[in-house]
Structure formats: C-alpha cells, structure tokens
Amino acid sequence: MKILFLENRYKTYFFDAIATHLEKNGHEIHWIIQNDFFQPKNKSNLHIIEYPKKYSVDKQKPIDASMQKIIDADRQLNFFEHGNIDHFFYYDEEINRILKKINPDLVFGESTVFHELLTVKNCKALGILYLNPSSSRYPAGRFSFYEFDSLTPFEGSGEILPEERAKEIIDQIVYRKTKPDYMHKFKSNRLKNFKDTFLKLSSYYKGDKYNTPHPLKKYRLEKKKNENILAWDATSVGHLENHTGMKILYPLQMQPEANLDVWGHKYRNQTNLVRRIIENTPSSAILYIKPNPKSKYELSDDLIDYVKSCDRIITIQHNVDMIEVFDKIDLVITVTGTIAIESILSNKPVITLQNTLNNSSPNCLFLDDFSELPFVIQKIQSNEFPKASIDERIQFLNKLNASSYQGIISDPFTAESCLQDDNIEQCISAFEDIIKKSVYA
C-alpha cells in the first residue's frame, strides 16, 4: 500500500520507526513535512512544504465551514496572537496538490495543528482515509486509530478481556491505582530543554511561524499563566465541605489541546461553558471547578473574574487530588475529558457535551442542549438517573479494549520508552492490522 505520514515535531521520530518497518514489509512510504527541522531518517519521498514568503490576501478563497472550523481551532490564533490567516490558504493548496500527486491509500498523523487539520479536510474531500493513532486512555498502555478529526475509533483489535481481568482493571481505575499513559511524568533536564528551545527558536526564525509561537509572546503568556495559577489557588479551597443541594463537578480541560480545541471545539471557550452550566442549574446547586493539574492557558483572566463573581461556584486548588473530590459530588460534566470513563466505571452520573463511545454506557448521557440540564438533575435527585450494572461496565470496558491495540503512542521527547523495541513491535503489529482492515472498509 501507499502510506503517507505527517510530520509532527518529535512525534515524527516515533512515526519514522513505524514507517521504517512498514517499508521493509513492502509498503510505499511518503511524508508531508511542514517544519523541516523535524525530518525522518529516511529522506526518500519527503514532500517538504516551503514556508510561504508572501501570500496575498487577494488569493484567499471564500471561507467555508470546514476551513472556518480549522481556523477556530488554531492555537496560534487563539493563544499566541498570530493574527493572520493567509497561510491557511497557501498550505491548503499545497497539501491538496501533494495528496493528488501521491494518491495515498492511507494517511497517518495527529489531528492537532493546522497542517494536520488541513490534511484531514482534503482527505475527506478526496475520499482518503486519515487515521490519528492516539492513546485510548483506558485500559492503560493501549491506543486507538481515530478517524479523521474525531474521537471515533476505526476498527480495533477485537480483544475481549476475561471477566476477572476486566473487574480487576475496573477496580484499579475506580480506586485510582492506575492512570492513562499521558498522565505519567516525563523526565526532563536542562540540556534536553535547552536543545528543545534552540530547535524551536531556530525553526521559528527560519520561517515556521505557524506552529511555533513568537518567543516573546510565548514568554509573556507563560509568565501570565504562572500568575493566574497562583491567583486561582489563592482564592480556591483545599478540601470540599459538606453542602446541601446538588453538587456538580466540572474539571477544566487543558488548552491548547486537541481534546477541546478540535474534538470539543464547540465548547472551547470554557468561561462561556461554565456560565451556561450556572444559568441552567437550580440556585441551590453548587458547581465545583477543578483545574487540570498541568494547567496552561485555559486559566484566563475572564474565567478567574467570572468564578470569583459567582457565589455558586467553588474553585479547587491545583494540589487537591481527584480522589478527594470525586466521592463528594453528585454529577460530573465534561466535554471530552478522561473523567467520563472514570465516572462510568465508578457508576457516577456523568454528562458529556461531545458524543463519543463513552455514551454507549447507560450512566453517561450526551447533552446537546443545556436546557435539558434541569431535567437531568431532577432524575439524579429522584434516583431515576440510569445506573450501569457490573456486567454493563465490563461490557463498556471491553468496547474500549476491542477498539484499541496494545502499545504506547508518544514521542521520544516526552516518553523515550515509546521507541523501545517491545513497544515498537506492538505498535507495528497494530499498524499492520489496521492497514489490512482499511482495505475492506
């Protein structure tokens, strides 16, 4: 088969290890490179997109819904004050030209930054399958191939866990004895960080101003982020007191991150989301907001000002562990957070604002209209909200297991172990299996 990979900084080196094996197995490998500082070792079939030197606004095409969605999700525009959208149209044309020239059978890449999302857009138009291999969160040590820019797994291993093993995994998740791969801390040192900074600065000044932020803007934003974390914790609680009425938990999702900016883009403004929860819940309800332990730019001034002004909101400090919060609340609301899976397996009522595989469990409700929220709360208070039996929870866990593969998808900067032989072997097996299944899709 003819297979195309997309460069994604350090993840390129992981994809390169996979691509090298696939090429040995007879597949024709191609690459689209946006940042040429991050190239695979095998230099054949590289399609390097030159940085646009000048691209006139007059050459912009009308912005249709698919292009607008990509622009809305762009972290450079949303967080780093890039301010210009001309490059979207240049890259859109270049990617379309490359795809038509190669005519790949299958494309592998992330669905995070603009050139990947433009590739997704063009693959949809050309009828080419685009798969994003990414952690499936639970069970730990597994990943799925997600279709295009969605959270819908494409096929999977079909592996079913024995009942006792499934119960064991559920207990580990419920009692927080395990966590998803992406939550593990990665080793860092000054030399490693210096090299990373040098690479990013070099690529920025060479021309990559579209995925790499301006150094001074990045510095100012990081400084503001740290100030806002301190401001948040200064007015937040270190433990939850007993309150009467409905107790709702909304865990903030980190931004920028594809989980919210792409897959849950409708709710990427979390200040507005929190406001809508308050507006659609009874005055007796308390909304707890727990920050992501690795808070980034979602802790905006607007959010901090709003939560301070609302006496029905209680914010939680960063150092408070979820296990100290979870049992004390009545309902969890999330867009695409991992908390949904943890709530399902703990039989905690949970609402998601994005429809995914999680909503196949009876105690995980997809909410498309906030006006329905009071009725959900009524059901919880009258003990009518659906519960999941142990058999249903095992069935749900097996859906996650069957739609995923064993292996860790990462990059060698944050997780050097992803390039270990045993992990690469597991991932190769998964890639080969999904390639075969894509032929019959």
Encode pLDDT of 70-110 as tens digits: 999 999 999 998 878 989 999 999 999 999 999 999 999 99
- Residues 6 or more apart whose Cβ sits within 8 Å of residue 41: 16, 20
Return mean pLDDT, the chain: 94
pLDDT at 55: 52
3-state SS, one letter per residue, for the chain: CEEEEECECEHHHHHHHHHHHHHHCCCEEEEEECCCCCCCCCCCCEEECCCCCCCCHHHCCCCCHHHHHHHHHCHHHHHCCCCCCHHHHHHHHHHHHHHHHHCCCEEECCCCCHHHHHHHHHHHHHCCEEEEEEECCCCCCEEEEEECCCCCECCCCCCCCCHHHHHHHHHHHHCCCCCCHHHCCCCCCHHHHHHHHHHHHHHHHHCCCCCCCCHHHHHHHHHHHHHHHHHHHHCCECCCCCCCCCEEEEECCCCCCHHHHCCCHHHCCHHHHHHHHHHCCCCCCEEEEECCCCCCCCCCHHHHHHHHHCCCEEEECCCCCCHHHHCCCCEEEECCCCHHHHHHHHCCCEEECCCCHHHHCCCEEECCCHHHHHHHHHHHHCCCCCCCCHHHHHHHHHHHHHCCEECCCCCCCCCHHHHCHHHHHHHHHHHHHHHHHHHCC
pLDDT at 57: 43
C-alpha distances (whole Å) from 232 to each of 243, 276, 289, 332 are 21, 21, 11, 21
C-alpha distances (whole Å) from 406 to each of 40, 109, 396, 426, 430 are 24, 18, 17, 6, 8
Q: What sign results for the dihedral spanned by CA atoms 89, 90, 91, 93?
A: positive
Mean pLDDT of 362-366: 97
Of the candidate ranges 47-56, 115-124, 372-381, the one whose mean pLDDT is the lowest: 47-56
Reported confidence tier of residue 54, pLDDT bands at 50, 70, 90: low
pLDDT at 371: 93
Of the two residues 188 and 291, the one the predictor is more confident about is: 291
pLDDT at 59: 58
Q: What are phi and psi of 3, to 5 degrees?
A: -120, 135
Mean pLDDT of 314-321: 96
> Would you say residue 441 has pLDDT above 80?
no
Give the type of residue at 241: E
Q: Provide the whole-model pTM.
A: 0.94
- Residues 6 or more apart whose Cβ sits within 8 Å of residue 40: 5, 7, 12, 13, 15, 16, 19, 31, 46
Give the C-alpha separation, 30 to 120, whole Å.
16
pLDDT at 60: 60
Give the C-alpha separation, 157 to 282, whole Å.
44
Mean pLDDT of 369-393: 95
pLDDT at 366: 97
Mean pLDDT of 113-122: 98
Encode pLDDT of 197-250 as tens digits: 999 999 999 999 999 999 999 999 999 999 999 999 999 999 888 888 899 999
Strand partners, 3: 29, 106
Give the C-alpha separation, 399 to 388, whole Å.
14
What is the arrangement of strands in the sheet containing 247-251, beginning at the earlier edge strand?
A: 313-315, 286-290, 247-251, 331-334, 350-352, 364-366
pLDDT at 56: 47
Mean pLDDT of 402-422: 95
Cβ-based burial of 108 (10 A; exposed 0-12, middle 13-18, buried ≥19): buried
Mean pLDDT of 422-435: 98
């946006």: which residue's tokens?
34
